Structure 1
Amino acid sequence: MTAPAISHGPRRVLLCYFSKSLFSRTAMCCGILIALMEILALLEQMTPILKRHLGIKGVLTYMVLHLPAMLQTALPLSVLIGGLVLFTQMTVSSEVAILRASGLSPFGFLKKLMPAACILGLFGVLLEDQITPRSELALAAWWNRTNPVPSNGRSFWFHVPAGQASACVDLAARTPKTGSELAHVGYIARAGKEAFNIDLYDRTMDGHLLRTLHAAHAEHGPHGWTLSGIHCVTISFADLDTTANEKDTPDTPWTNPFGPQDMLRLSLDSSPLSSGMILKALHGQLATNQTPGFLRASLFERFLRPLALIVMLLLAMPVIYIPPRTGLKSWLPVWCLGAGLLFIIVQGMFRAMGNAGLLPAPVATVPGLIIFALAAGTALLRNEDK
């Protein structure tokens, strides 16, 4: 004799109960993980903060601005651990047995949890796409602005498209075959509004060097960039002779299409980008130091975040087969946690190959989801047949 089906009213109650339970346990796990990550980050950054005489205000500023990036990192693992805690508690208290006797299948459990997982996934997408890029850029601007020794900053290179930049004098000598300008910046200050030790290399379309320029300082004002302390070397080709003319020039405008925020972003090892910025970077309209493969993989991974969290819940679901008498003595939650960590590692390996250009962006993000979803589904079906 089959158990009676659960009516629509109790089904809505179950949906709310499962959603609230998953939200609360995910929030608890996320809070614990973020607290540990903040402590480890502050252990590393406390000395520089105190050396800059920023005090408690500086510590709090660093924690608040770095919080979105930590929350983004902790969210997938928090969903996995939250799901394990939820399923274990329900199994030990015989709630799972009661619901199974009422006609709720294991995939019925997942169906009740999917709306909450999708909400958490969409929150993760919003966090990664809109909040984290702004907070990390604000953190980098604050960190650069408060640096008493900006000369220890990171140097970087970038290209300026043809026709958009030239700082050398004698612009009439610029040939129609002029290609792009290659720029090297020693370091920046005042959150990207000042740049030091700038070297510009003006080249032809086929890569031949036309002129070089070294500027000691560049400052961004209301009318754009201005170079000072300029020494320019112009190379001229006449028949078979090649000559180089050197001269010092007064302050001159630098038609650099990249503003202070772009310079600040280029000075970072890795700066989070929104989806709109990624699309602009892929079309050459935004300065970035990331490869196209990295950008495409980031875009795919970002919008697959809800599916990744659903896979995390699937990996945690075998816990519902713990015998109630065994309780917390079972090793099954540990194995499920290990499967979730393995999923994160495998996704990271695929992603690294995508970043290096060894795999296309879809192949670097989708197969891991499919493999672990099928593996978790197989484990549930095998346990169901026993």
Structure 2
Amino acid sequence: MNVKLQQSTINNQQSLIRITGSKSETNRLLLLQALHPNLVLENTSNSDDSVLMLKAIQKPTTDNRQQTTVIDIHHAGTAMRFLTAYFAIQVGKEVILTGSSRMKERPIKILVEALQQLGAEISYEENEGFPPIRIKGKKITQNKVALPANVSSQYISALLLIAPKLEKGLELTLEGEITSIPYIKMTLALLNEIGVETSFIQNQITVKPLHTINSQLLTIESDWSSASYWYSIIALSPIGTQITLSSYKQNSLQGDASLVEIYKSFGVETFFKGNSIVLHKINNLKPDTLNLKLNNSPDIAQTIAVTCFGLGLGCNLTGLHTLKIKETDRLEALKTELTKLGAKVLVTNDSLILENSISINENIAISTYQDHRMAMAFAPLAIKTSIIIEEAEVVSKSYPTFWEDLEKFGFQISK
């Protein structure tokens, strides 16, 4: 399904948009809940990724090795990483974990080798280093492992989440400069919240074993990555435009909460009121070029790049090496689609440089590459020009009600 967004004049009034729980927090807590059934979760994400994660955990497996359970997580990269670790410790269970054609191109070798160092039994069904993988769950007694520090934080979090269930816990050494520290800290904070003792000193992470926990209710904060598109919308709107989003915390565990500071450069102020935030366009002041290092929040790079283009700004975004192995090569995808719109863009393995621009080409069809963030990052440009988003249904991966919420705010959308 393609959608066309006519150049839209946004309702210059305060609206309330309710965004469901963080996909990052939800998927971590779903795994912890599977390992510790006393946990009760509130405000879970309604994203495809979280739904797939829950279905995979709940899918019946068999102790009969002649009837291996096949679990297909489609495009859900987080689920692939977390479930690899989860099923590795399900004693006596055997599964094949697979996904979409793109998922079969996304590397899993570093995590598999780390689990194998600990004693896990995992093998490849097709190509070495990539899904699908066969996992034979067993009791793991080793507790020391090392990983390159610049890998996806999801590999690291996958190991940390199962660590309390390991006989001796886990001592994890990260070698080199660490990427996406906020996501690692999020995982450790959630472990602490359910009573697990952890430490993170320099490049050494320790997680103590905790085999039983007390019953607890955990409320998940709404997703800051989903909020990023509203920051872009307000930045591209006239002075005075505002919107209220719920439910958010000032002391968020999510790295993408850096939006609060970043979007001040575009004249957007954030006001915390109770469990909501109010985004308010207060001025049109903006730098000629925005320089940002996004190691800790790479998921908002697409949104920021498109915001800059829509405002005629240049930007130099670095720390983006993990974007090469997402749902698509997000750096190349950004370059291709922004160029269609009239931008001049240069990308490297870990950076994007956008030149200042003075015009935007109209009625351009944006390819989304089966990547939800491509669809949502480009949609706010409808404030400046009419635009077409191809495969628009892909937003369900993380924000299923995205198009309906845009219409509530005044966007003119046709299928």
TM-score of the two chains, using structure 2 as the length reference: 0.20
Q: Larger % of helix: which? A: 1
Q: Larger % of strand: which? A: 2
> Which of 1 and 2 has greater Rg?
1
TM-score of the two chains, using structure 1 as the length reference: 0.21
Indicate the structure whose relative CO is greater, using CA pairs within 8 Å and at least 6 residues apart. 2
